């Protein structure tokens, strides 16, 4: 019996020693890989990546979180041309450490309108900037989901570091009566961006989108008039009503000063995207990182696209729903609309402090 007890104790001691050796082995292997990783990060830090470290993490982080193409922009503080270089690099331990400090915040800027004005293009162009963290989808919080509360809204936002601007775009905000007060209640200092376009062209573009989904609706000419014989315009028809920019802007100006509202010229966003993006970056207090080097004009679509990233065979253009061919509208109807919008445009120019030159 004593011999059996002695053997049992020896077996327990042996098992304990084996377990200790096993765990020590795991610790040694982990320590080895950790030291190798540190060496690798030192090599990275002493390479060209260190030269552009200011923007490397921000671009990689955006790519990782789905708000940016899988190519990121790096920029040197000493050379402007480096801002347009797009490269793919693995994150360093320092980058990963910074990622852990990123949090979800309420937006500091909103693209509030207008529908079919160029809001999607503007958002995609701004997302090139490493200091912009933008939600890709339209949350419609202030017009449709306000009852869900600000915590829900915050949870929808992408994570951001200190110094990065969080933003989203929902074009319906500009025309929804309740949104200015709701946004003001969230933030009195928020920056608002409105992309405006010739209201006649915008209305036709809006109708083009509608018929792509419901092709059997009446013609544009039929819906434009309350009475075709008298020529009375149906100002309550959504494609025409949205273009009454002065009417909508007055509501916003009762809550926000003009200094917090920036207007993007929709036509110039097509003809001079870099110029319009430069002014938007200034308005947001950002360094002008997105420049003309990022764009080329796509003749087929009729609007600018982003130059293809390094290593990619295709440029980045907006989807098939953008750049649709408009139906032919009778010249008489177009002229009636121009006459209708003319006094509204003049009032809008006065309120905005800017002449957009629409005929």
Q: Does 159 qualify as catalytic in the annotation?
A: no
Contact 197, 267 (CB under 8 A): yes
User: Measured between alpha carbons, how far is 213 from 226 in angstroms, rounded to an integer?
Assistant: 24
Q: What is the strand order of the sheet 165-169 is part of?
A: 132-134, 165-169, 109-113, 191-196, 261-265
Q: Provide the terminal-to-terminal Cα distance of the chain, rounded to the nearest Å.
A: 109
User: Measured between alpha carbons, how far is 298 from 307 in angstroms, rounded to an integer?
Assistant: 10
User: Measured between alpha carbons, how far is 58 from 67 in angstroms, rounded to an integer?
Assistant: 11
For the CA atoms of 234, 240, 243, 247, what is the dihedral angle to 10 degrees? 30
List binding-site positions.
116-120, 197, 205, 322-326
Token pair in block for residue 214: 């419901």
CA distances from 209 to 92, 233, 269 (A): 45, 21, 20
| Alpha-helical regions (H) of 139-283 | 150-156, 179-186, 199-213, 220-224, 238-241, 245-253, 266-271, 273-283
The SS3 call for residue 40 is helix
The catalytically annotated residue of 116, 159, 169, 191 is: 116
Report cis status (omega within 30 of 0) of the bond before 114.
Answer: yes
List binding-site positions for 3'-phosphoadenylyl sulfate.
116-120, 197, 205, 322-326
Active site residues: 116
């Amino acid at each position: 019996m004593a011999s059996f007890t002695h053997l049992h104790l020896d077996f327990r001691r042996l098992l304990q020693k084996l377990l200790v050796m096993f765990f020590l082995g795991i610790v040694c292997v982990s320590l080895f890989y950790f030291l190798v990783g540190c060496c690798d990060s030192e090599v990275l830090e002493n390479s060209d990546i260190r030269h552009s470290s200011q923007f490397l993490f921000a671009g990689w982080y955006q790519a990782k979180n789905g708000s940016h193409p899988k190519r990121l922009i790096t920029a040197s503080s000493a050379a402007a041309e480096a801002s347009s270089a797009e490269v793919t690099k693995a994150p360093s331990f320092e980058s990963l450490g910074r990622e852990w400090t990123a949090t979800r915040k309420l937006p500091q800027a909103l693209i509030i309108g207008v529908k079919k004005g160029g809001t999607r293009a503007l958002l995609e162009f701004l997302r090139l900037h490493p200091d912009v963290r933008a939600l890709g989808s339209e949350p419609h919080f202030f017009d449709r989901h306000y009852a869900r509360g600000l915590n829900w809204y915050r949870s929808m936002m992408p994570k951001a570091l200190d110094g990065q601007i969080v933003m989203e775009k929902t074009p319906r905000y500009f025309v929804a009566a309740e949104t200015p007060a709701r946004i003001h209640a969230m933030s009195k200092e928020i920056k608002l961006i409105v992309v405006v376009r010739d209201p006649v062209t915008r209305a036709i573009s809006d109708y083009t989108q509608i018929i792509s989904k419901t092709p059997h609706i009446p013609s544009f000419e039929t819906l434009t008039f309350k009475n075709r014989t008298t020529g009375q315009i149906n100002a309550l028809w959504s494609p025409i009503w949205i273009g009454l920019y002065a009417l909508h802007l007055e509501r916003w100006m009762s809550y926000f000063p003009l200094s917090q509202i920036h207007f993007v010229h929709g036509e110039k966003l097509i003809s001079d995207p870099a110029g319009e993006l430069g002014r938007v970056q200034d308005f947001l207090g950002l360094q002008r990182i997105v420049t003309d080097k990022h764009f080329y004009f796509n003749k087929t679509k009729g609007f600018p696209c982003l130059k293809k990233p390094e290593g990619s065979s295709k440029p980045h253009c907006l989807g098939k729903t953008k750049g649709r061919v408009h139906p032919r509208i009778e010249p008489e109807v177009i002229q009636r609309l121009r006459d209708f919008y003319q006094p509204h445009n003049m009032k809008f120019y006065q309120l905005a402090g800017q002449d957009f030159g629409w005929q």
